[in-house]
Amino acid sequence: MTHISATVDGTHRQGEVEPRLLLVHWLRENLGLVGTPIGCDTSNCGACTVLVNGKSVKSCNVLAVQVDGAEITTIQGLASEDEWHPVQKAFKECHGLQCGFCTPGMIMASVDLLSENPNPTEEEIRDGLHGNLCRCTGYHNIVKAVSHAAAEMSGS
């Protein structure tokens, strides 16, 4: 067992883990943060996307021991105490989901994209999210939601 500690959604968390434990399993099973789903478990679908030190990663494709000392943000750490994150609001406003399974990863990948490119074109949004698969929507409303969030966040 290896001791790890990390800041997860603003809270200091630590524990003893087996080196083979995946980050997504640490989040879900050890810390109870089940807002991050396991989709494909092959690193294709992006449903398990979280931010590690501010950048998107697929948490099924990282060992928990590799995030020792890191700052992690999951979908459950995005909202402030009394208000949703603008990207969360935009997904609701634009109905950027149907079944909702891909939504946590889709929102985290969108937050990551907008942190680097605050005003993406439709093409840049589609390219920026191509590592996140949605089997319901056909992506149209997801793209609209990210555009809407970008406009809200830049105040236009």
Partner 1 sequence: MIPSAFDYVKATTVDEAVAALVAAGEDAKVLGGGQSLLPVLRLRLNNPSTIVDISTVAEIRTITDEGTSLLIGAGVTTDEVANNPLVKAHAPLLSMTAETVADRAIRHRGTFGGSCAHADPAGDLPTAAAALDCEFVIAGPGGRRTVSAADFFVDFFTTAVGADEVLVAVRVPKMDGYGAHYEKFNRTAQAWAIVGVAAAVKVEGGVITDARVALTNMGPKPIRATSVEAALKGQPATADAIKAAASSAADGTKPTSDVHADAEFRSHLARVLTGRAVATAAGV
Q: Smallest distance from the beta carbon of 10 to partner 1, in angstroms?
A: 21
CA 58 to chain centre: 8
Query: Which residue in this structure is represented by tokens 């399993």?
Result: 25
Q: Are 103 and 84 in contact (CB under 8 A)?
A: no
What is the number of other CB atoms lying within 10 angstroms of the CB of residue 94?
Answer: 18
Q: Smallest distance from the beta carbon of 3 to partner 1, in angstroms?
A: 12
For partner 1, the closer of residues 2 and 154 by Cβ is 2
For partner 1, the binding residues (CB under 8 A) are: 2, 18-20, 22, 25, 41-44, 46, 49, 52, 55-58, 60-63, 65-66, 109, 112-113, 128, 130-133
Cα-Cα end-to-end distance for the chain: 51
Find residue 13's DSSP bridge partners: 6
Q: Smallest distance from the beta carbon of 69 to partner 1, in angstroms?
A: 9
For partner 1, the closer of residues 21 and 33 by Cβ is 21
For partner 1, the closer of residues 30 and 44 by Cβ is 44
Q: Closest by alpha carbon to 106, among 26, 33, 35, 27?
A: 35
Q: Smallest distance from the beta carbon of 100 to partner 1, in angstroms?
A: 20
For partner 1, the closer of residues 83 and 123 by Cβ is 123
